[in-house]
């Protein structure tokens, strides 16, 4: 009978370890996914902002040397990501391609003006910064007009701000749920060893001595769960890139290292804290209370 009970106890113990590991892995995987979404959303937001159209229309009789000089000045500015000089001829070619017919033959001349297409860094792609930049550009005697869609810029920033608040709120909620789930799972695992904890305490073992193997095992579960979660995240990223090749443009090795490091650190911290307080609870309980 004792052998049967011993096998049953070992089976329950293994089941408890597997349940704890699976719970930690799934929670860390979800947190890692959320982290990837948040950071990719930031990069996507920057990508959208940095591709907002911003055209500097030059005056009719400006010499090319003056336009190139302005372009060089803009390239050296802290708010500029990139510039492209569009000559009258190139502008005419692009418009002819868009219209599907040669408008110059119809008009008899090229009415288009040379321009510089400007792409701003993401942090400057907002209404206030654009207004200041526009004012500075219009102060240049060679600039006739600065064109960008103000309503589109306002709409993009408004929607991105709203999405960021929603994602932040969801992140905090998921983090609280994740910590609660891991904590409850580890507490159930420690609960099955409450009599062993109390027996060790009764024979004179110190609290630190009793707590140490539980905490080390908890940290090991956290690290192992984190590595499995990272493998799952890598798999998701790989298949996502196969389905949506454009995602490669948003990839960043430093971003992945940060996320994976965060997952491992979170697995260690949550497992350590949950195990510490779970063991402490049973160390402080009286022997009679263990049966309830």
Q: Taking the CA atoms of 209, 215, 217 and 220 in sequence, report the sign of the dihedral they define.
A: negative
The SS3 call for residue 36 is helix
Tokens read off for 40? 């990719």
pLDDT at 223 exceeding the cut of 80: yes
If one compares 227 and 283, the residue with the highest pLDDT of the two is 227
Residue 285's pLDDT is what? 65
pLDDT digits over 281-290, tens only?
A: 767 666 555 5
Residue 263 in this model has a pLDDT that exceeds 70 = yes
Where does the pLDDT of residue 256 fall: very low under 50, low under 70, confident under 90, or very high at 90 and above? confident
Residue 21: both structure tokens together = 């590991």
Q: What angle do CA 171, 238, 250 make, to 5 degrees?
A: 65
Q: Which helix (H) or strand (E) holds 82?
A: strand 80-86
**Distances from the Cα of 27 to the Cα of 169, 235, 239, angstroms:** 17, 17, 21
Query: 19-23, 86-90, 213-217, 288-292 — which is least confidently predicted?
Result: 288-292
| % of residues, the chain, pLDDT over 70 | 78
Asked if pLDDT for residue 143 goes beyond 50, the answer is yes
Percent of the chain at pLDDT > 90 equals 0
Query: Which one-letter DSSP state was computed for residue 59?
Result: P
- 221 and 24 in contact (C-beta within 8 Å)? yes
Question: Is the model's pLDDT at 58 over the cut of 80?
Answer: yes
176-203 pLDDT, tens digit per residue, is: 776 777 677 677 667 667 777 777 777 7
Q: Average of pLDDT values for 129-156?
A: 81
Q: What domains can be seen in the chain, in order of their start residue?
A: 2-48+156-291 (no CATH), 53-148 (3.30.70.3040)
pLDDT of residue 5: 43
Beta carbons of 121 and 79 less than 8 angstroms apart? yes
Q: Which is higher by pLDDT, 270 or 20?
A: 270
Highest mean pLDDT among 33-37, 101-105, 130-134, 175-179: 130-134
- Beta-carbon contacts of residue 166 (< 8 Å; ≥ 6 apart): none
User: Residue 183: is it exposed, middle or buried by C-beta count within 10 angstroms (0-12/13-18/19+)?
Assistant: middle
Average pLDDT, the chain: 76
């Amino acid at each position: 009978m004792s052998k049967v009970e011993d096998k049953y106890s070992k089976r329950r113990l293994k089941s408890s370890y597997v349940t704890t590991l699976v719970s930690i892995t799934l929670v860390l995987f979800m947190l890692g996914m959320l982290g990837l979404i948040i950071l990719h959303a930031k990069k996507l937001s920057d990508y959208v902002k940095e591709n907002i159209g911003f055209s500097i229309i030059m005056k009719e009789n400006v010499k090319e040397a003056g336009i190139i000089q302005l372009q060089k000045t803009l390239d050296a500015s802290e708010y500029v990501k990139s510039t492209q000089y569009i000559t009258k001829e190139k502008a005419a070619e692009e418009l002819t391609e868009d219209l599907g017919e040669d408008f110059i033959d119809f008009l008899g001349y090229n009415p288009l003006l040379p321009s510089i297409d400007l792409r701003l860094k993401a942090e400057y792609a907002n209404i206030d910064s654009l207004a200041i930049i526009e004012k500075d550009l219009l102060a240049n005697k060679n600039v006739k007009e600065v064109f960008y869609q103000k309503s589109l810029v306002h709409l993009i920033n408004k929607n991105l701000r709203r999405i960021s608040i929603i994602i932040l709120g969801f992140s905090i909620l998921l983090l609280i749920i994740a910590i609660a789930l891991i904590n409850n799972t580890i507490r159930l695992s420690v609960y099955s060893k409450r009599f062993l904890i109390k027996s060790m305490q009764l024979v004179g073992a110190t609290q630190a001595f009793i707590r140490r193997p539980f905490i080390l095992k908890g940290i090991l579960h956290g690290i192992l769960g984190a590595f499995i979660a990272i493998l799952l995240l890598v798999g998701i990223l790989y298949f996502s890139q196969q389905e949506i090749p454009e995602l490669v443009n948003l990839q960043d090795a430093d971003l992945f290292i940060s996320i994976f490091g965060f997952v491992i650190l979170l697995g260690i911290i949550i497992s350590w804290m949950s195990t510490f307080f779970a063991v402490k609870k049973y160390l402080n309980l009286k022997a009679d209370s263990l049966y309830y």
